[in-house]
Chains A and B, each alone.
Chain A
Amino acid sequence: MSRPFASWDVYKAIADPNRRIVLDLLARGEQPVSAILVRVDLTQPALSQHLKVLRDVGLVRQRRQGRERIYALNPKPLKEVSDWLHHYEEFWHKKLTALGEHLERKHGPRRSKEVSH
C-alpha cells in the first residue's frame, strides 16, 4: 500500500485523456462510480480499468457506501510530479547561469556589440 510511486507511473496515469476527465470530475469532490459513468464516454468495464490504474498509482481512493463505490482524489502523487518539475527548473537555472560564467572565463568578458556572427 505504502510503496513510493515512481513519477513515471503517475505521468502515465495522467497522460490518458479519459483518466484526466475522471481526475477533473473528482477534483470537484468525491463521486460514486455511477455518477462518473454518466459523465464519461466509457463502458463500465473500461471505466473500472481506468479507475484501477488511478488507484494503483495512488491518485484516487475508493470506499464503499452501501452498494456504491465512492471515489475521491488523492493529490499527493500530483505533488510528486510538480516537485520533479520544480527540482529541474532550479537545476537548469543554476546550470545556465554557470554556462554564462564558463563562457566568460573561456572567452573573456564581452559586451553584446563585440559579438560577430
Chain B
Amino acid sequence: MEKSIIIEQEYPYSPEEVWDALTDQAQISEWLMHGTFQPRVGAEFELYWSGNDASKGATKGKVMEMVKPRKLSYTWDWGTNGSLVTFFLEPTASGTKLRLEHTGFIEGKDEQVFQGASYGWNEKLPKISAAIAKRQKAVA
C-alpha cells in the first residue's frame, strides 16, 4: 500500500528507549507536542498546537495499535481532515531505525476512500501536475 509521507531516521538508542520517547507524554512534550497522550489502545488524546495550551487548538487522536517496542499507530485529526500516523521501530547495529508513515486517511472512517486514495494517487498527482505544466507551457 502506498503512503503519503514516509520518513526514516536512525537513532543511537535502543528501541525501548525510543519507544518510551514516543509513548510517554512527559517525553512527547519534549520533542513533539504537549498534550494528553495515553499509551493504551483505544485511548483518545489531544496534542496542542501551541505550547501547553489546549485553548489554541489541538490535534485529536486515538491510539489504534501498540506493539511494544516495534509499532505504534494513532489517528491524527485536524479540522475536517483525518489521517493516520504510524511509527515502526527496528533494532539495528547502531541503535534503532525509526520509520514514520503519515497517511492522509483513516482506515475505517471511510475504508473505500482510504484504499482508493492510497492506491496510486501520490504517484498519479505528480504526473497530472507535470501534464498540466506542460500544457500550460504549450499554451503560453
Tell me whether A103 and B17 are in contact (CB under 8 A): yes
B55 lies within 8 A of chain A by Cβ: no
CA distance A16 to B13 in the complex (A): 43
* Chain B residues closer than 8 Å to A107, beta-carbon distance: 13, 17
Tell me whether B113 and A11 are in contact (CB under 8 A): yes
| CB interface residues, A 88-117, toward B, < 8 Å | 88-89, 92-93, 95-103, 105-107, 110-112, 114-117
A81 lies within 8 A of chain B by Cβ: yes
How far apart are A49's CB and chain B's nearest CB, in angstroms?
Answer: 16
Q: Mark B86-127, 1 if CB is under 8 A from A, else 0.
A: 000001011100101010110000101110110011101101
* Chain B residues closer than 8 Å to A78, beta-carbon distance: 125, 128-129
| CB interface residues, A 4-46, toward B, < 8 Å | 6-8, 11-12, 14-17, 20, 23-24, 27-29
Chain B contact residues (Cβ within 8 angstroms of A): what range? Answer: 35 or more
CA distance A8 to B110 in the complex (A): 11
Tell me whether B128 and A84 are in contact (CB under 8 A): no
A82 lies within 8 A of chain B by Cβ: yes
A73 lies within 8 A of chain B by Cβ: yes
How far apart are A73's CB and chain B's nearest CB, in angstroms?
Answer: 7
Task: From known contacts A8-B80, A81-B125, infer whether A28 and B5 are also in contact, taking CB-CB under 8 Å.
Answer: no
A side interface size, CB within 8 A: 46
- Of chain A, the residue at the smallest CB distance from B22 is A99
Q: Which of B11, B14, B116 contacts A100 (CB 8 A)?
A: B11
Tell me whether B32 and A98 are in contact (CB under 8 A): yes
Tell me whether B81 and A93 are in contact (CB under 8 A): no
CA distance A23 to B27 in the complex (A): 45
Top-3 shortest CB links A-B: A112-B94, A15-B116, A27-B131
A residues neighboring B (CB under 8 Å): 6-8, 11-12, 14-17, 20, 23-24, 27-29, 73, 75, 78-79, 81-82, 84-85, 88-89, 92-93, 95-103, 105-107, 110-112, 114-117
Q: List 8 A-B contacts (CB under 8 A).
A: A8-B80, A11-B117, A27-B128, A98-B30, A99-B22, A112-B93, A115-B12, A117-B15
B residues neighboring A (CB under 8 Å): 4-5, 7, 9, 11-15, 17-18, 21-22, 27, 30-32, 79-82, 91, 93-95, 98, 100, 102, 104-105, 110, 112-114, 116-117, 120-122, 124-125, 127-129, 131-132, 135
